A and B are shown apart, each in its own frame.
Chain A
Amino acid sequence: DQQVKQNSPSLSVQEGRISILNCDYTNSMFDYFLWYKKYPAEGPTFLISISSIKDKNEDGRFTVFLNKSAKHLSLHIVPSQPGDSAVYFCAAVQGGSEKLVFGKGTKLTVNP
């Protein structure tokens, strides 16, 4: 059973517009969430994270929102740029665990 779900396998947006990537989770014990960005044939790179004690974390063009009651988080990229085109993975970790649980990823395409 998937504990972290990214229900949209792909997303396409225009350059300059907002990209919203969604992630749902089922394990209420998760207390830390991360987003990774992955280009083809490369390892994922850490993008942004959020602790469960917060509902928003912002870093430049990237903002992550956490809705604990809905067990939902989202990554907003604004403005989107063609270089943002990549696969984005949502991940979660339970306090005390050494393991991240990843979603299956969403492929974002930003069109010029």
Chain B
Amino acid sequence: SQTIHQWPATLVQPVGSPLSLECTVEGTSNPNLYWYRQAAGRGLQLLFYSVGIGQISSEVPQNLSASRPQDRQFILSSKKLLLSDSGFYLCAWSVPAGVADTQYFGPGTRLTVL
């Protein structure tokens, strides 16, 4: 069966510090991968998605970036965090070109920028 992991679970970082959140998927090959952010009182905002290694699509201009160095690894980064980057970050995967297009989410990372 497929599983998705995210770490760390929680993170407190000062403004201006760098960020690296990691997501890995097991039990599937060539998944589509996604990064979402859920900010307080808001829905799920798609940040990035990837359909293959090195292929990243950005949905929202911001100071975050994403990379996919391996097939089942997706990394969310920032060189300098802003207060507004605080939120709950979720990674998700789906079967590529799957009929259902159902996405399956990881447990999330709670980021607090102080």
- A74 CB-CB contact with B under 8 Å: no
- A34 CB-CB contact with B under 8 Å: yes
Q: How many residue pairs at the A-B interface have CB separations less than 8 Å?
A: 51
Evaluate contact between B32 and A98: CB separation under 8 angstroms: yes
Q: How far is the CA of A100 from the CA of B6 in the complex (A)?
A: 20
Closest chain B residue, CB of each to CB of A92: B101
Query: How big is the A interface, by class?
Result: 20 to 34
Given contacts A41-B108, A41-B110, A45-B105, contact A102 B44 (CB under 8 A): yes
- B75 CB-CB contact with A under 8 Å: no
- A1 CB-CB contact with B under 8 Å: no
Given contacts A98-B51, A99-B49, A105-B43, contact A43 B90 (CB under 8 A): yes
Q: What are 17 of the A-B contact pairs (CB < 8 Å)?
A: A6-B43, A43-B90, A43-B92, A43-B105, A43-B107, A44-B90, A44-B105, A45-B105, A46-B103, A97-B101, A98-B51, A98-B94, A99-B59, A100-B101, A103-B43, A104-B43, A105-B43
List the interface of chain B (C-beta within 8 A of A): 6, 32, 34, 42-44, 46, 49, 51, 59, 88, 90, 92, 94, 100-108, 110
Please list the 9 inter-chain residue pairs (A to B) with the smallest Cβ-Cβ separation, ordered nearest first. Answer: A43-B105, A104-B43, A102-B44, A93-B101, A44-B105, A43-B108, A43-B106, A43-B107, A102-B43
